[in-house]
Structures are given as structure tokens and as C-alpha cells.
Amino acid sequence: MIEPDAEGERRRSRTERVPTGKSAAAFVSLKRAIMLGDLPAGQPLVELELATRFGCSQGTVREALLQLQDEGLVLRNGYRGTQVSACTVEEAVELFRIRQSIECRGIVHVLQHPSRTLVADLKALLADMTAAATKADELELASIDREFHGRIFADAGLPALDPILRRCLIHNHRFKISRSMGGRDLLQTAQRHEPIVAAIEARDLKAASAALFHHIATIVDFGPNVFPDQVQ
């Protein structure tokens, strides 16, 4: 199993709350396997087995599993143990709708008082996404994509919604990757963020809201069914 770039994971530690210390290796490896579908829904995750695999204590593994639970990627059921969570169409639809509401409402607050570094940060993240796309690293691209959207929302001043948005983004990408049949144009995926940056740089609320809405509504093929009569 190929591990993601360590520098990239450190860069996103604040946005995605990557654990530090010994639990990081277990967390990153398990998250990657779940996101790519190598660990399918319902797969049991036994602490003792994982501790042996990663050469660490059960407590360290437990810390990683608790973080994965916080992101909704595993379910911990007491004496029944821990299992990889499901990734269903029904749940994906609801998470897309929640995400759309949070981001498109949030951009109103963002453009009232955007930070000085917002546009520069977004352009840097867009460049990182382009680099990941060039390397054909879909998981890295998705991770930077989440940081991009998290960076925009950080300026909304609505911190209580941050963990909700983060979970939506993670599951959106997990669903998208799980339905990918291969051969997708990753560079085009990165470039889809350009209209969002342009609208924010121009401080054009109408254009920014439309760009965000269209971006979310067309992320998967069932977009028109999730957002009827609203896809532009």
C-alpha cells in the first residue's frame, strides 16, 4: 500500500486534524485504504491485529480509530468492535445537500470580510491540486480539494459548522472515488476550482455562489437528481 506524501499530510493536519505521533501512521494508512475502497464497508478492524501490523500499542491504534470515527469512516460498536462504515447513495445524497447549503450560505459571510491571504492561499492550493493531478494521484488531489474548500469556509467565521463540512467533504470524495471507473481527467477536476477563485478575487457574491453551487452539484453524475431545477 502506497503511503501519501508525508509533507502533504503535515500541511493538511490543521484542516483535516491528522493525529500526530505514533497514531499518525495507522490513521493515514487506514484512512487511505478506506477512501480507496481497499477496506470495504463492514470490514472489521481489530485493535490487536492492527497494533501488530503497525508495530505499536493498542492504545495508539485506538487513538487512530477514534479519529476515523470522528470523520465518519468507521463505526465503533462497543463489545461488537469497530467496522468500516458504509458508503451508500442515500447518505451521499444527503451529505451533498448539506454541503451545498453550508458552503453557499458561508460564502456570503466570507465575502463580507475576506482575509488578506484568502485569494493567495486558494491559488496556492489550486497549484497543488494541479500538481497532484499531473502525478495522477487522485487521493492527494481529493485531500487538497478538501483543504481548498475548508480554507474558503474558514473566513466565514462559523467554526461550529467546520466539522460538519469536513465530514461532508470526506464522504463526498469517498463516494466519488468509490464510483470512479478510472480514466477520469484529474487535471480537469483541479481546473474546476478556477471559477470559484476568480469570483472570490473579484468579490462577486453572485458569481461566487453560482460557481460553488455548480461545482458541488456537478461533482457526480447524479447531480441533477440531488439538486433538481437548480443545476446551472
How would you write the pLDDT of the chain (232 residues) with one tens digit per residue? Answer: 334 444 444 344 444 555 556 678 899 999 999 999 999 999 999 999 999 999 999 999 999 999 999 999 999 987 778 999 999 989 988 999 999 999 999 999 999 999 999 999 999 999 999 999 999 998 999 999 999 999 999 999 999 999 999 999 999 999 988 877 566 789 999 999 999 999 999 999 999 999 999 999 888 655 445 555 554 4
* Closest by Cα among 54, 73, 60 to 20: 60
- 3 state DSSP class of 45: strand
- Amino acid identity of 10? R
H helices of the chain, in order, are 6-11, 13-16, 23-36, 47-54, 58-70, 89-110, 118-134, 138-154, 162-178, 186-191, 194-201, 205-217, 223-226
- The reported pLDDT for the residue numbered 228 is 54
- The reported pLDDT for the residue numbered 183 is 64
- Chain mean position to CA 16: 8
Residues 6+ apart with CB under 8 A from 88: none
- The reported pLDDT for the residue numbered 83 is 96
Beta-sheet strand order (sheet of 82-84): 44-45, 82-84, 74-76
- The reported pLDDT for the residue numbered 178 is 82
Predicted TM-score of the model (pTM): 0.84
Integer CA distances (angstroms), 198 to 120, 122, 126, 230, in order: 11, 10, 12, 22
3-class DSSP string for 78-116 = HHHCEEECCCCHHHHHHHHHHHHHHHHHHHHHHCCCCCC
